[in-house]
């Protein structure tokens, strides 16, 4: 095939002309000699400069669609089996590798979910940018370097000259995603495909990246296909929306129509499952019990520090101050949430409570201090505290049947006979909503939500007083997440368990927590009941976190706040020094806020 | 440059390691049954003659006194007089080190020359006939012992085809290189098999990695994706594997040097063991140990150079 030289920028000049049109696209995978469809009969058009969101849950075919447009379906098993992808006058499905290569990165660019793994770790940022530029433009190395620098400046990255000579691991996640965006937009493409571009980022960083994408789109007139599972991101970014499920388009419409008057039942279900800020307020609060429920865990000025050794003799020169002077109580039957961004120390606290990392200060679980316990004492404490992790696939032994996994804690603690343990496992399966025959199956035979139910059943096996949910629902689809959250709530009422719920998702926390603490750099900046924190957030960082959450309502107008940028300071300090300690002040009814002087420092 | 600071620090940290190695080799050598004096003088030696020799070489002293003499000699640049060759062991080692070193370098270079293209073909054409053929050759390379493989190579290339010399080590540079091909190939065939497997696995993982997909999405040709974005990342773990194998290989040259009659350290070691020449055996063992330590040090330097994330 002869590839025409006039690539499409000249082909479409009017603002409303479609820049990309997908017609009857089908993608199938060949497995065990049979073709199985991944995407069927998908048609849509993308107009110049608009943002089209493709929304759907895992397995909906949204990412496969983007790879099909780019001609990057993993050969030979997956292929586009029917339809056309018209880019100007060209059908991309029939363009061939050489022709596609000229379009990829030049006319149609793509950014991915994982900025951590999408950049080559052994090449400098500059080398990767220059390589991409020189692949498409006949320019010298020096010219390419100048263009690369301009691209980094356009994504508002701090110290762009320095970044050119840095390696990816020297940059934070947010900066790496900026670099990916700079690479994608350096050649001013007509179309940008953004596949879950902010899913791996912290909520405030997500806010910055979304703002950046919108600004660049306005300047360059690039059309964006935004692939996401997050309806909040859809509402904020998109003009038109396609909802996909199981490889098929369910519904297509303007963002106002999809959110305001969804036609299809699935769209309504999807929207209903999205956790929204404010839903929690409508939930009946804890009915004030006559007697204070017993303490399950108590932390009093707990520190967790990790040594960094260096120098000639390997002495401790620096320490990571992961958790600094943290104090809180968890009482039976309550859900206590810890929120904050990555690296704030919330998971480290969970590990300290489970006795998995050493701590300083006073930490007691079920009335017994964790310090100075012998092996038997530690084992006894662990019966009281169980953890449900973020990734259930990684938390389950792939060679162990689900029933065995759930019964294993009983085996470890020598509880019951073989038959009793099996009965207990069957009972727990019923309790978490899994079919009884599932005990015989292996983890890979379950869906993500079912796997998390197995993990919850395993955590319940020992009748613990406290279950730590460390981002337990973050990896799940929203509809599955909603059901798992309901299950956790029901189990709490039934067994009187307390949860330590760790999450970066303010909307989920607002829905499930009774009380919560907001953490920043290892310290608590604000703590109180759900109503106190969400109804009257006092600390600027808390407000920043709440405001950064994308709202699944296209009519929502975000209050114009300062554009955020900058990096979180390091929690690493030389030996003998440490972070400035925050002093918490009670502003009424047990609502604790870090004292103002320090608060200003955090907000700056 | 901060990442390379360990290059200055590490040699000092190696001092206790080398000290430990010297103690172990010294003691182990003396655990070999047999009396060096008796072997040197033959079966009809008188007890007086044996006692004289023992006194001359310090063999009548307690073992720790012998060790202190050894350290004293080492400080003076000597490793003790060989009972067999009647010269200082260090001089012997210096004259014998070149063939062994050349053999190891030839083996590693040939192994890489074989392994990198093989792994590349295997990874890029996974599951094809080429991939299977390379797998079979690799497995065979690991399976055949080097003394047999060496003998077969001699029969084919030296005896039947008469392209290359049968054995020995030449005098001029060209002659030496010619002599190195067959023993080098013997080493390379087994070494390359291990490296090919490791590289192939790394390359296959790299080809479907996010880095490769993102590079393709920027319009990079597949050759650039492979050689610039996949191969460098696959090399990092292979460097350490190579270092482990080369350490093992240095001891393994004993066999190959015997088959090809290369006058290297391995041959010296074998002679030393048979004649209970304590000085030679401990000297060569110490040299092998130092070489292994140095190779691992070198591997660390290469790893730091290849992977900017590594800090040592």
Q: What is the ipTM of this complex?
A: 0.79
Dihedral of the alpha carbons of B213, B219, B221, B222, in degrees to the nearest 10: 10
What pLDDT was estimated at residue A596?
Answer: 58
What pLDDT was estimated at residue A280?
Answer: 67
CA distance A413 to A555: 54
Residue A1 has pLDDT above 80, yes or no: no
Q: Model confidence at A31, in pLDDT bands (50, 70, 90)?
A: confident
Q: Model confidence at A11, in pLDDT bands (50, 70, 90)?
A: very low
Strands A191-195 and A108-111: parallel
For residue range A326-380, list pLDDT tens digits in order.
Answer: 999 999 999 999 998 888 888 899 999 998 889 999 999 988 898 888 888 888 8
Q: Cα–chain-centroid distance for residue A416?
A: 40
pLDDT above 90: percentage of residues in chain A:
43
Is residue A135 within 8 A of residue B220, CB to CB? The reply is yes
The radius of gyration computed from the CA coordinates of chain B, to the nearest angstrom, equals 24
For residue range B137-176, list pLDDT tens digits in order.
Answer: 888 877 888 788 887 888 888 778 878 777 777 777 777 8
Closest CA to A39 of A250, A224, A238: A250
Mutate: best of B15, B215, B217, partner A, most A CBs <10 A? B217
Q: Which residues pair with A29 in a beta bridge?
A: A36, A78
CB within 8 Å of chain B, chain A residues 286-315 = 312
Residue A162 has pLDDT above 70, yes or no: yes
Q: Is B15 an 8 Å CB contact of chain A?
A: no
CB-nearest to B219 from A122, A135, A167 is A135
Residue A285 has pLDDT above 60, yes or no: no
What pLDDT was estimated at residue B72?
Answer: 83
- Tell me the whole-structure pTM to 2 decimals: 0.81
CB contact under 8 A, B220 and A132: yes
**Assign residue A521 a region: left if phi > 0, alpha if psi is -120 to 50, beta otherwise?**
left
- Minimal CA separation from B219 to chain A, in Å: 5
CA distance B185 to B162: 16
What pLDDT was estimated at residue A521?
Answer: 87
What pLDDT was estimated at residue B183?
Answer: 86
Q: Which residue in this structure is represented by tokens 């804690």?
A: A409
Residue B264 has pLDDT above 70, yes or no: yes
Cis peptide before A76 (omega within 30 of 0): yes
**What's A33's DSSP letter?**
T
Residue A289 has pLDDT above 70, yes or no: no
Q: Model confidence at A16, in pLDDT bands (50, 70, 90)?
A: low
CB contact under 8 A, B210 and A118: yes
Residue B203 has pLDDT above 70, yes or no: yes
What's the whole-number mean pLDDT along residues A105-110?
A: 92
Which residue in A has a C-alpha nearest to residue B230's C-alpha?
A120
More confident residue, A402 or B6: A402
CA distance A403 to A422: 7
CB-nearest to A117 from B211, B218, B308 is B211
What pLDDT was estimated at residue A148?
Answer: 93
pLDDT above 70: percentage of residues in chain A:
92
Phi, psi of A145 (to 5 degrees): -65, -40
Residue A457 has pLDDT above 90, yes or no: yes
Listed range (A13-17, A24-28, A367-371, B99-103) with the worst mean pLDDT = A13-17
User: Which chain B residues are closer than 8 Å to A97 by Cβ?
Assistant: 222
CB contact under 8 A, B209 and A117: yes
Residues 6 or more apart whose Cβ sits within 8 Å of residue A268: A262
What pLDDT was estimated at residue A598?
Answer: 45
Give me the helices (H) in A155-308, please.
160-164, 173-185, 203-220, 231-237, 255-260, 265-273, 279-282
Exposed / middle / buried, residue A15 (Cβ in 10 Å: 0-12, 13-18, 19+): exposed
Assigned token pair, A563: 């554009």
User: Which chain A residues are closer than 8 Å to B311 by Cβ?
Assistant: none
CB within 8 Å of chain B, chain A residues 69-98 = 70, 72, 74, 97
């Amino acid at each position: 095939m002869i590839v025409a030289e006039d690539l499409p920028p000249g082909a479409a000049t009017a603002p409303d002309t479609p820049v990309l049109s997908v017609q009857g696209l089908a993608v199938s995978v060949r497995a065990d000699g049979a073709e199985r469809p991944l995407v069927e009969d998908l048609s849509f058009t993308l107009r110049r400069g608009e943002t089209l969101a493709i929304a759907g849950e895992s397995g909906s075919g949204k990412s496969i669609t983007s790879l099909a447009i780019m001609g990057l379906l993993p050969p030979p098993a997956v292929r586009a089996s029917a339809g056309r992808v018209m880019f100007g006058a060209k059908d991309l499905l029939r363009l061939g590798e050489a022709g596609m290569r000229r379009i990829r990165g030049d006319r149609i660019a793509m950014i991915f979910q994982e900025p951590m793994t999408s950049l080559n770790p052994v090449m400098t940022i500059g080398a990767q940018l220059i390589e991409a530029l020189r692949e498409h433009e006949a320019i010298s190395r020096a010219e390419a370097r100048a263009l690369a620098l301009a691209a980094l400046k356009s994504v508002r990255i701090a110290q762009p000259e320095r970044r050119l000579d840095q390696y990816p691991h020297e940059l934070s996640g947010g900066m790496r995603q900026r670099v990916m965006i700079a690479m994608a937009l350096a050649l001013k493409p007509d179309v940008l495909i953004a596949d879950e571009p902010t899913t791996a980022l912290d909520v405030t960083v997500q806010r910055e990246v979304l703002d950046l994408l919108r600004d660049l789109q306005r300047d360059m007139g690039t059309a964006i296909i935004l692939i996401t599972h997050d309806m909040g991101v859809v509402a904020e970014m998109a003009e038109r929306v396609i909802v996909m499920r199981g490889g098929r388009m369910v519904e297509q419409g303007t963002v106002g129509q999809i959110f305001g008057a969804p036609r299809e039942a699935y769209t309504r279900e999807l929207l209903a499952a999205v956790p929204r800020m404010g839903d929690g307020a409508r939930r009946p609060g804890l009915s004030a019990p006559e007697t204070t429920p017993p303490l399950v865990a108590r932390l009093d000025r707990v520190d967790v520090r990790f040594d960094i050794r260096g120098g000639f003799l390997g002495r401790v020169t620096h320490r990571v101050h992961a958790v600094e002077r943290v104090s809180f109580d968890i009482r039976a039957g309550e859900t206590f949430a810890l929120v904050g961004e990555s690296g704030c120390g919330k998971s480290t606290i969970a590990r300290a409570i489970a006795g998995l990392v050493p701590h300083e200060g006073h930490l007691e679980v079920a009335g017994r201090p964790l310090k100075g316990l012998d092996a038997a004492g530690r084992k006894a404490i662990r019966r009281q505290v169980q953890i449900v992790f973020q990734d259930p696939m990684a938390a389950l032994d792939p060679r162990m049947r689900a029933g065995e996994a759930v019964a294993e804690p009983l085996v470890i603690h020598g509880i019951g006979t073989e038959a009793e343990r099996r009965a207990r496992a069957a009972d727990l399966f019923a309790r978490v909503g899994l079919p009884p025959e599932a005990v015989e199956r292996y983890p890979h035979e379950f869906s993500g939500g079912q796997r998390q139910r197995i993990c919850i059943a395993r955590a319940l096996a020992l009748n613990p007083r406290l279950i730590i949910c460390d981002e337990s629902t973050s990896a799940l689809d929203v509809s599955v997440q909603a059901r798992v959250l309901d299950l956790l709530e029901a189990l709490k009422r039934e067994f009187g368990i307390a949860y330590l719920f760790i999450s970066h998702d303010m909307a989920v926390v607002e829905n499930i927590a009774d009380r919560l603490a907001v953490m920043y750099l290892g310290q608590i900046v604000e703590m109180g009941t759900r109503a106190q924190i969400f109804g009257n957030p006092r600390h600027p960082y808390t407000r920043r976190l709440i405001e950064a959450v994308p709202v699944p309502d296209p009519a929502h107008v975000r209050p114009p706040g300062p554009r955020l940028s900058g990096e979180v300071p390091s929690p690493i300090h030389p030996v003998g020094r440490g972070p400035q300690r925050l002093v918490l002040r009670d502003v009424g009814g047990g609502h604790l806020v870090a004292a103002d002087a320090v608060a200003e420092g955090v907000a700056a | 440059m901060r990442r390379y600071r360990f290059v200055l620090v590490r040699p000092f940290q190696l001092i206790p390691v080398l000290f430990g190695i010297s103690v172990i080799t010294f003691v182990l050598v003396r655990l070999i049954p047999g009396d060096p004096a008796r072997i040197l003088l033959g079966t009809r030696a008188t007890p007086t003659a044996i006692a004289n020799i023992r006194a001359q070489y310090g063999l009548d002293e307690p073992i720790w006194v012998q060790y202190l003499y050894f350290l004293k000699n080492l400080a003076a640049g000597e490793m003790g007089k060989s009972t067999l060759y009647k010269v200082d062991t260090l001089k012997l080692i210096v004259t014998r080190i070149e063939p062994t070193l050349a053999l190891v370098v030839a083996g590693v270079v040939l192994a890489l020359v074989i392994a990198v293209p093989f792994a590349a073909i295997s990874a890029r054409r996974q599951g094809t006939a080429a991939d299977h053929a390379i797998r079979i050759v690799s497995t065979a390379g690991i399976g055949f012992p080097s003394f047999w493989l060496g003998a077969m190579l001699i029969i084919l290339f030296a005896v039947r085809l008469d392209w290359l010399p049968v054995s020995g080590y030449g005098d001029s540079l060209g002659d030496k290189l010619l002599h190195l091909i067959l023993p080098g190939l013997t080493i390379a065939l087994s070494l390359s098999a291990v490296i090919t497997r490791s590289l192939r696995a790394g390359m296959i993982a790299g080809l479907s990695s996010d880095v490769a997909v993102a590079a393709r999405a920027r319009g990079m040709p597949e050759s650039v994706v492979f050689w610039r974005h996949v191969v460098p990342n696959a090399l990092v773990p292979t460097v350490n594997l190579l270092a482990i194998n080369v350490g093992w290989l240095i001891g393994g040259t004993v066999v190959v040097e015997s088959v090809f009659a290369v006058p290297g350290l391995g041959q010296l070691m074998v002679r030393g063991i048979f004649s209970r020449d304590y000085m030679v055996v401990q000297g060569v063992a110490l040299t092998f140990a130092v070489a292994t330590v140095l190779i691992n040090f070198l591997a660390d330097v290469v790893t730091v150079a290849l992977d900017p994330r590594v800090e040592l």
